[in-house]
């Protein structure tokens, strides 16, 4: 059972690491989403915005214990038709309405700040950081794949047998007479008195 869990964890890590590597490297290679940049630029050019109604309830999420995100449901009406979806904000809005830019051809595509979205997409591919992160994630995925093939079986513990020591024999070479004298000297109560 332990081995099956280990294999499943490795497979999950390989998939996650591979996805992260592909995402980072493709951001570097393709330099941002060209379609997204064009859509946001058209929003700015057409100056199509609306005041969307925000729900009273929201979900707060903390990313990396530093960034708080607030997810709201919103709705707005354009040309007699109502559109609704969710939007994530980094700040709580002061009013129950939010200015949203939308794409004239498809009002489902919205942005709170199209220029910031354009700037973010344009930054992709300009820095080597995305490429470096992609390479690191790729190496981690490769190491996980190699762990399937390079795993060694745990060697059986070797039992070390100690050499048998000879039983200690009496190594006292004094004569019986000397031993008797020593014993009597130890028993003599006057031994502690000055002579």
Q: Using CA of residue 87, residue 92, residue 97, residue 102, what is the dihedral sign?
A: negative
The Cα 51–Cα 75 span in angstroms is 9
For 52-93, write each residue's pLDDT tens digit.
998 888 888 887 777 888 898 999 998 889 999 988 888 888
Where in the chain are the domains?
Answer: 1-31+125-149, 33-123
Task: Give the per-residue pLDDT at 192.
Answer: 67
The Cα 55–Cα 162 span in angstroms is 78
Which residues 6+ apart lie within 8 Å of 71 measured at CB? 58, 59, 60, 61, 86, 87, 88, 89
CB–CB of 3/134 below 8 Å? no
- Looking at per-residue pLDDT, the higher value among 156 and 13 belongs to 13
């Amino acid at each position: 059972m332990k081995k099956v869990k280990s294999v499943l964890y490795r497979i999950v890590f390989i998939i996650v690491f591979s996805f992260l590597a592909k995402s980072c490297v493709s951001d570097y290679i393709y330099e941002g989403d060209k379609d997204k940049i064009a859509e946001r630029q058209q929003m700015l050019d057409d100056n199509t915005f609306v005041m969307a109604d925000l729900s009273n309830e929201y979900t707060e999420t903390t990313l990396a214990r530093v960034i708080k995100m607030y997810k709201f449901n919103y709705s707005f009406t354009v040309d007699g038709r109502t559109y609704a979806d969710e939007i994530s904000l980094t700040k709580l809005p002061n009013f129950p309405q939010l200015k949203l830019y939308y794409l004239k051809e498809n009002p489902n595509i919205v942005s709170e700040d199209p220029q910031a979205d354009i700037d973010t997409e344009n930054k992709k591919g300009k820095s080597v950081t995305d490429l470096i992160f992609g390479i690191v994630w790729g190496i981690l995925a490769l190491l996980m794949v190699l762990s399937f093939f390079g795993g060694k079986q745990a060697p059986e513990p070797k039992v070390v047998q100690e050499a048998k020591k000879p039983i200690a024999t009496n190594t006292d070479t004094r004569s019986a007479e000397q031993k008797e004298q020593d014993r009597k000297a130890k028993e003599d109560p006057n031994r502690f008195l000055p002579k």
